[in-house]
A and B are shown apart, each in its own frame.
Chain A
Amino acid sequence: MTQRTLLSVRNLSIRLSRPAGERVIVDRLSFAVGAERVALVGESGSGKSLTARGLLGLLRSPLSVSAERLEFEGRDLRAATPSQWAALRGSGIALILQDPRHALNPVLRIGRQIDEVLRIHQRLSSGERRDRTAEMMLAVGLRDPLRIARAFPHELSGGMGQRVMLAMMLVNGPRLLVADEPTSSLDAALRDQVLDLMVSLVEQRRMGLLLISHDLQQVAQYCERVLVMYRGRLVDERRAVDLAASDHPYTKTLWSCRPSGRTYGTQLPVLVREADERAETLS
């Protein structure tokens, strides 16, 4: 199936400027995402969350983004003005975050938070907004949309909150969804449910999905391609089916580290890091 490229990134770097000097946190990432499910995997500190926000232009000084190419649907984003970014976010690219307890505005009702995207980007009557919101809420599996729309975020469970976030970001029909560790704050049972939901919605709407995660197992199950990040650099890129056969030492270790019935009682492999890396990590 020929895919159009939604997001095209070449040599994207993110720098942090401090009084002591500049530090490169993400170093020359290059990748492309089409209408497919791509995962960006790495341990904490690898820079993947920053990358997610950088792709939406959400980073502010002292962080700065530079790239040779940063294009969405062919448009060059490197020189985008704030209002151009604002027009793009929520309508072209969407972002969902990790913890709905913090990512949802505690003092606004759910319905208002969901239809805000529609208010910002479209001119619809309040009735149309209400209908679309309710439709979207049903699509994410929230079975009592009217009651939930009037509720406040603290009244919802974690799983419901995550569904609300999905609804919020998808109701306006974006083409690419960037999900930053969307299930990390949920318990294991809910994780699969929410991911299943996300994947099915993305498939239905023929969207692209960039899933950021630290869980290799999860991404292997749900995504088609995997990008592996380590300390700010892209170290490996595979199709999900080929992950087990990767010959990159980091990927191999990550892959073989997955605890399961077979590994029970045995010591899991450890990545041998260079001595100077170890020193840097400890400082």
Chain B
Amino acid sequence: MVAGHAPRLLLRIGGALFTLVVTLSALLLATFALSALSPVDPALRLVGDHASTASYEQARRDLGLGRPWIVQFERYVSHAVRGDLGISSSTGQPVREDLKTVFPATLELATLAMGVSAVVGVAFGLLGARRPGGLADAVIRILSLAGNSIPIFWLGLLSLYLFYAHLHWTGGPGRLDDAYEFTIDRGTGLVLIDAWRSGEPGAFANAIAHLILPVLVLAANGLGNIARMTRTALLNESAREYVTLARAKGAGEARVLLGHILPNAAGTILTVLSLSYARLLEGAVLTETVFAWPGLGRYLTTALFAADIPAILGSTLLIGVCFVILNRCTDLLVRAVDPRTL
């Protein structure tokens, strides 16, 4: 039985990879187009206003400007694939190095928020499916409407005011208090791990105090949708015949929901979670600005203010790549979970 599946599986993986490559190429094309269309002259940016004509011309040649655009695109792609995303005009560093510093912070934030979102969201979805029309349903509806209507940067600001400035329950902006900011060795770039390993008393607790608000704000955004779609997926499955048969065997409601309905709804739920994670990465952009979180999002917004084109496009590309990979992998994941399409 397995032997028969192998060639089909390879074909499917091949197809998914092809789609992935095409999408990523399109993304590269989009960012390249933006850089080409930008009114900012990159050569001028590089050498400065007071440079001589000669050095300006040299810069233009170095950057490959003036060549036909397809050549420029090829140059852009080959650089990007190697990780060379240009030099940031504000930090002066290679964009790649900047990204390496900031990406873990966003990853940490988004992943923790995803965890909270998924657990609470699916739990509510389960409760709502168990008693359609009950209290859990009303809560789901409110959470979902709220999550889709509340501007996340506003929620962040107000929570910061309420829970930090007014109630002093959580830490403030940034990942750590100033006291720890400079004494902790930033090995992994993940503040929780670094704080733990540093052994500094109170550092770990401080890291958590700073994390808790941005994580909750980010999680609150997607929670409602996860709950609502989980509930819908579960209710759709519960109308099927195998559920009747399971009950006919004498299975109690808990067993029916968790042992029969949930495994069948797993594909849909995983899709929802995966797409939610992708959206979280985008939401992090605004949240990081509010909480002064030194992640990819804040790097992007700072670059936007400074019109730092390489940095803007580099971070856009990185977020875009993550987004696309998540979206495409979702399909594969769903197929893997369902034995019918394995």
Out of B244, B251, B259, name the residue touching A86 (CB < 8 Å): B251
Inter-chain contact A117/B249, CB cutoff 8 Å: yes
CB contact list, A155-208 vs B, under 8 A: 155, 165, 168-169
* In the complex, A258 has a CB within 8 A of chain B: no
Q: Report chain B residues within 8 Å CB of A90.
A: 248-251
Assembled-state Cα–Cα distance A94/B264 (Å): 24
* In the complex, A56 has a CB within 8 A of chain B: yes
Q: Given A97-B244, A97-B245, A106-B340, are A155 and B252 also a contact pair (CB < 8 Å)?
A: no
Q: Mark B243-264, 1 if CB is under 8 A from A, else 0.
A: 0111111111101000110011
* In the complex, A121 has a CB within 8 A of chain B: yes
* In the complex, A102 has a CB within 8 A of chain B: yes
Q: Given A116-B249, A169-B249, are A106 and B244 also a contact pair (CB < 8 Å)?
A: no
Assembled-state Cα–Cα distance A88/B340 (Å): 32
Q: Report chain A residues within 8 Å CB of B166.
A: none
Assembled-state Cα–Cα distance A271/B340 (Å): 45
Inter-chain contact B339/A107, CB cutoff 8 Å: yes
Inter-chain contact A117/B250, CB cutoff 8 Å: yes
Inter-chain contact A152/B340, CB cutoff 8 Å: yes
Number of A-B contacts (CB under 8 A): 81
Inter-chain contact B245/A95, CB cutoff 8 Å: yes
Q: Given A102-B240, A106-B264, are A152 and B246 also a contact pair (CB < 8 Å)?
A: no
Inter-chain contact A103/B249, CB cutoff 8 Å: no
Q: Looking at the assembled complex, report how far the CB atom of B207 sits from the nearest CB atom of chain A, in whole angstroms.
A: 40
Interface centre among B241, B252, B263, B340 (most CB of A within 10 A): B241
Q: Report chain B residues within 8 Å CB of A116.
A: 246, 249, 251, 259
For B264, give the chain A residue with the smallest CB separation.
A107
Assembled-state Cα–Cα distance A105/B338 (Å): 12
Inter-chain contact B247/A120, CB cutoff 8 Å: no
Out of B1, B244, B250, name the residue touching A88 (CB < 8 Å): B250
For A114, give the chain B residue with the smallest CB separation.
B249
Inter-chain contact B338/A53, CB cutoff 8 Å: no
Q: Report chain A residues within 8 Å CB of B253.
A: 82
Q: Report chain B residues within 8 Å CB of A88.
A: 250
Assembled-state Cα–Cα distance A120/B242 (Å): 16
Q: Report chain B residues within 8 Å CB of A106.
A: 242, 264, 338-340
**Contact-size category for A:** 20 to 34
Q: Report chain A residues within 8 Å CB of B259.
A: 116
* In the complex, A87 has a CB within 8 A of chain B: yes
Assembled-state Cα–Cα distance A86/B251 (Å): 6
* In the complex, A13 has a CB within 8 A of chain B: no
CB contact list, A79-101 vs B, under 8 A: 82-83, 86-91, 94-95, 97, 99
Q: Given A120-B255, A152-B339, are A105 and B242 also a contact pair (CB < 8 Å)?
A: yes
Q: Mark B29-50, 1 if CB is under 8 A from A, else 0.
A: 0000000000000000000000
Inter-chain contact B250/A121, CB cutoff 8 Å: yes
Assembled-state Cα–Cα distance A53/B247 (Å): 11
Assembled-state Cα–Cα distance A169/B249 (Å): 7
Q: Report chain B residues within 8 Å CB of A58.
A: 244, 247-248
Q: Report chain A residues within 8 Å CB of B1.
A: 155
Q: Mark B305-342, 1 if CB is under 8 A from A, else 0.
A: 00000000000000000000000000000000011100
Q: A97-B241, A104-B245 are in contact. List 10 more A-B contacts (CB 8 A).
A: A56-B248, A86-B251, A94-B248, A97-B245, A99-B241, A103-B242, A105-B242, A107-B340, A152-B339, A168-B245
Q: What are 10 contact pairs spanning A and B, CB under 8 A?
A: A83-B252, A95-B248, A97-B244, A97-B245, A102-B240, A103-B244, A105-B242, A106-B242, A107-B264, A154-B339
Query: Which 5 residue pairs spanning A and B have beta carbons closest together?
Result: A90-B250, A95-B248, A102-B241, A90-B249, A89-B250
Using a CB–CB distance below 8 Å, which chain A residues touch chain B?
Answer: 53, 56, 58, 82-83, 86-91, 94-95, 97, 99, 102-108, 116-117, 120-121, 152, 154-155, 165, 168-169
Using a CB–CB distance below 8 Å, which chain B residues touch chain A?
Answer: 1, 240-242, 244-253, 255, 259-260, 263-264, 266, 338-340
